[in-house]
Amino acid sequence: MKNRLLGSSLSVSSLGLGCMGMSHAYGTPLSEADAFVLLDRAVELGVTLFDTAEVYGPFTNEELVGQGLKRHRDKVAIATKFGFTIGDAAKAERPSGVDSRPAHVKAVAEASLKRLGVEVIDLFYQHRVDPDVPIEETVGAMADLVKEGKIRYLGLSEASAATLRRAHATHPIAAIQSEYSLWSREVEENGVLETCRQLGIGFVPFSPLGRGALTGALKDVKTLSDTDFRRALPRFQAENFEANLTLIETLQAMAHEKNTTAGQLALAWVLAQGDFIVPIPGTTKIANLENNIAAADLTLSAGDLLTLRDLLSPAKVKGERYPEQMARMANR
């Protein structure tokens, strides 16, 4: 698999692996043994960017990823994220807010280093912008960690274009992570994608397969487990999803004509939007991993790209990507 640059010098595979679903958000977690097999196969296929966060679990996903990638450490870049206030992991408490005060940034970096079992974090993202702390102060604390050799590159997640510019003026930002797919294109409208192009910042789309919906594998949201995060998302509510499924079926029909899969078309479209873009689709299945990686070799014509853009135009999609409370935490 070919590499792409995040920022000026972080070279990673053109497709990374989002690791959240191995232990968080989408129902039953993978066993440690199955997760290690999946991580091994990803490295074997050429994946070098692996994405986790302290909040996934919470905490357990960092431990899983760190242990699973230990023997591959010299081949991979590990990205993790901070910024939520997290209670007692033993009680499975959910984040109660955000905290990007400099002292907190440095404390959670130390904790992530220990859980990952590494001496340096390759890419350290602020998971959500803290409206009570100037971004310059947060990035300043992150920059101190770079000077101390504890992290290599800085990132933001779900930040606005204005915040990204302020952060980058304080210390170079290698990448920003936000949702981006055929059916979620806010970053095209709010200036984030264009800001990345102008400033030479990498863009890392999470959920490039619409949290699995764009593969066509999910036909009925009633089949999702009670603990599946998607049950809380407006786009996956029964009436909305039924309407969205009609759009997805048109994507599947196009994929059939091209002798590929809906998921590969969706990923190839995202990859084609710029060579500074590195999607991180997640999965818990080897077959899905292999299917996703194959999308890196799929070439789409200009006509194909326009057709896909229209097929799942966000104007046609029913339901917002986040409920109101979560939406307020994005694009700050």
Do 173 and 156 form a contact (C-beta atoms < 8 A)? yes
Residue tagged active-site, from 26, 56, 153, 180: 56
How far apart CA 300 and CA 258 sit, in angstroms, is 10
Quickly count: other Cβ atoms within 10 Å of residue 276's Cβ.
Answer: 18
56 classed as catalytic: yes
- Comparing CA positions, the residue from 51, 41, 57 lying closest to residue 19 is 51
Rg (C-alpha) for the chain, rounded Å, is 19
Residue 256, phi then psi, degrees to nearest 5: -60, -40
**CA dist list (Å): 68 to 43, 116, 288:** 11, 10, 19
- Comparing CA positions, the residue from 250, 225, 234 lying closest to residue 312 is 250
> Which residues in 63-89 are b (16+ Cβ under 10 Å) and which e?
bbbbbbbeebeeebbbbbbbbbebeee
Per the listing, tokens 């264009």 go with 194
Q: How far is Cα of residue 201 from the mean position of the Cα atoms in its chain?
A: 16
84-85/97-98 β-pairing? antiparallel
* Residues annotated as part of the active site: 56
